[in-house]
């Protein structure tokens, strides 16, 4: 009995993937979990492991081809098994002229090619072919036929819905009719959009359109953190981790999320989802764009744990080795734009989260310290030089109001200023 390999769904909004390279060729043996191929989506490049032990019988989608998630891309069979031809020779049907991605579904009766999803009473041949071509998980499609059967119309409605959702992430006009090529002057060049660039563009527009953004800013004295880091970074390095300031900001954010849990949430029409877990996304700049790997369950990690997880994610992000799971599911995001020297920024919320913390550069600045509580000039006032940082919280005003945002930011500030081990 052969096993089909499908293009996986690599993220909530990722609907297709490109085959970069087949690491095995038909006829070769594969072991379960052994890398079978590398694929690329608009978010990430990754290796896909073989789901079972066996022999690669057939590659259905060649290198370089882009197919929708769910499309059958290969067949793995038992040792000695042969790939069933799309049209068994004993049957008088002509070869199906459909594109290669659908050929597997064209003979639903062939036992080795049963692409029908399980758990449904009856999938009509028309629906089977359509869903195979479009890579649709039929379990997601509501059926309106007798006994809940999925009809062609149901599937078309579902696909139209998906298309609409995708379109909502893009500029409507761009979907309806592609813009004409821009006029170029003599020396100008037109650089085609990379999939990552396009995804970032879509996501940013979507976010700006979805959430009313408000930004609140405060500053924090980093003396305690700097002192702690100076004292501990060598130990960390010995243990194989680099202790960056970002790790402190993550730890401070986790503490603040605990203090003001409303921030760890997402807006839906049905209500505001309060996340129990804290999965912190960290923006990582790449030469050709931006990725936001997620530190899962950051609330369970010590500073060392955070630092180690962060190092690992950042390194693999730069090497293009992140797994799909590692770039999704965040509940809150931090962007340390200060690493480039920026003092203050108002980042765009990473949808569907409710807020994003922007961290500027830590610079020594003169600040006034005083033991007097009065704002009036006092003999106790003194100008001192301190490592200072601007913190900005950009939040979704549908979910949060200024008061909660400021409480959160103040909690971050206090955590940083009073850092103890």
- Closest to another protein by CB, 91 vs 231, is 91
**252, 416 in Cβ contact below 8 A?**
yes
Q: Is 117 in the site for another protein (CB under 8 A)?
A: no
Q: How far is the CB of 141 from another protein (least distance, A)?
A: 14
Smallest distance from the beta carbon of 87 to another protein, in angstroms?
A: 10
Q: Which stretch binds another protein (CB under 8 A): 85-93, 270-278, 324-332, 364-372?
A: 85-93
Using rule CB under 8 A, residue 141 touches another protein:
no
Q: Which stretch binds another protein (CB under 8 A): 38-46, 126-134, 184-192, 245-253?
A: 126-134
d(CA 399, CA 93): 59
Of 265, 33, 16, the C-alpha closest to 135 is: 16
Task: Give the whole-angstrom CA distance, residue 37 versus residue 22.
Answer: 4
Q: Identify the burial level of 52 via C-beta atoms within 10 angstroms of its C-beta, where 0-12 means exposed, 13-18 middle and 19 or more buried.
A: middle
Q: Tell me the catalytic residues.
A: 397, 401
Contact map string, positions 88 to 107, toward another protein, x by CB under 8 A: ---xxxx---x-------x-
| Burial class for 120, CB neighbours closer than 10 Å (0-12, 13-18, 19+) | middle
Instruction: Give the strands of the sheet with 66-68, arranged side by side.
Output: 45-49, 35-40, 16-22, 66-68
* Binding of another protein by 379 (CB under 8 A): no
Q: How far is the CB of 69 from another protein (least distance, A)?
A: 20
SS3 at position 404: helix
138 touches another protein by CB under 8 A: no
Among 80, 90, 109, 179, binds another protein (CB under 8 A): 109
Q: Is 160 in the site for another protein (CB under 8 A)?
A: no
Told to check if 151 binds another protein by CB under 8 A, we report: yes
Cα separation of the two ends of the chain: 58
Closer Cβ to another protein, 56 or 106, answer by number:
106
Residue 268 three-state SS: strand
What phi-psi label fits residue 54: left (phi over 0), alpha (psi between -120 and 50 degrees) or beta?
A: left
Work out which of 14, 130, 284, 393 binds another protein, going by CB under 8 A.
130
Q: Are 359 and 389 in contact (CB under 8 A)?
A: yes
For the CB of residue 116, give the shortest distance to another protein in the complex, in Å. 13
Could you tell me the smallest distance in angstroms from the CB atom of residue 31 to another protein? 37
SS3 category, 44:
coil
Could you tell me the smallest distance in angstroms from the CB atom of residue 122 to another protein?
A: 7
Instruction: Give the binding range for another protein (CB under 8 A) out of 18-26, 142-150, 333-341, 385-393.
Output: 142-150
Q: How many residues bind another protein (CB under 8 A)?
A: 19
> Which listed range, 32-40, 51-59, 125-133, 375-383, lies at the site for another protein (CB under 8 A)?
125-133
Distances in Å between the Cα of 292 and the Cα atoms of 121, 196, 261, 323 are 41, 12, 22, 12
- Residues near another protein (CB under 8 A) are 91-94, 98, 106, 109, 122, 124-127, 129-130, 145-146, 149, 151-152
């Amino acid at each position: 009995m052969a096993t089909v390999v499908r293009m996986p769904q690599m993220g909530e909004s990722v609907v297709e993937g490109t085959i970069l390279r087949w690491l095995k060729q038909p006829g070769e043996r594969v072991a379960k979990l052994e890398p079978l191929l590398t694929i690329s989506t608009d978010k990430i490049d990754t290796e896909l492991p073989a789901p079972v032990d066996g022999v690669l019988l057939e590659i259905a989608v060649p290198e370089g081809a882009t197919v929708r998630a769910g499309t059958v891309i290969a067949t793995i069979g038992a040792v000695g098994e042969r790939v069933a031809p799309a049209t068994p020779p004993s049957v008088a049907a002509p070869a199906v002229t459909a594109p290669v991605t659908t050929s597997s579904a064209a003979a639903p009766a062939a036992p080795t090619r049963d692409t029908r999803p399980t758990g449904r009473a009856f999938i009509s041949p028309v629906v089977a072919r359509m869903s195979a071509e479009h890579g649709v998980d039929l379990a997601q499609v509501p059926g309106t036929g007798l006994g809940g059967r999925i009809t062609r119309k149901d599937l078309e409605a579902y696909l139209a819905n998906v298309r609409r959702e995708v379109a909502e992430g893009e500029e409507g006009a761009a979907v309806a009719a592609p813009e004409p090529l821009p006029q170029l002057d003599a020396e100008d060049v037109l650089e085609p959009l990379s999939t990552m660039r396009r995804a970032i563009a879509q996501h940013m527009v979507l976010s700006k359109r979805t959430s009313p953004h408000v930004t609140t800013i405060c500053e924090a004295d980093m003396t305690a953190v700097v002192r702690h880091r100076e004292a501990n970074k060598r130990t960390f390095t010995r243990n194989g981790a680099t202790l960056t300031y970002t790790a402190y900001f993550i730890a401070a954010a986790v503490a603040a999320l605990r203090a003001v849990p409303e921030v760890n949430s997402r807006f839906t029409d049905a209500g505001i989802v309060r996340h129990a877990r804290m999965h912190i996304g960290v923006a990582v700049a790449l030469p050709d764009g931006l990725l936001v790997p997620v530190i899962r369950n950051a609330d369970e990690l010590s500073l060392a744990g955070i630092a180690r997880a962060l190092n690992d994610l950042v390194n693999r992000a730069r090497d293009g080795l992140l797994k799909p799971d590692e770039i999704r599911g965040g509940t809150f995001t931090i962007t340390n734009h200060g690493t480039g020297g920026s003092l203050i920024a108002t980042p765009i919320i990473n949808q569907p989260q409710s807020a994003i913390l922007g961290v500027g550069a830590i610079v020594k600045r003169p600040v006034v310290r005083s033991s007097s509580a009065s704002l009036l000039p006092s003999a106790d006032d003194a100008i001192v030089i301190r490592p200072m940082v601007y913190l900005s919280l950009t939040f979704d005003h549908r979910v949060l109001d200024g008061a909660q945002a400021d409480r959160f930011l103040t909690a971050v500030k206090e955590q940083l200023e009073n850092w103890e081990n």
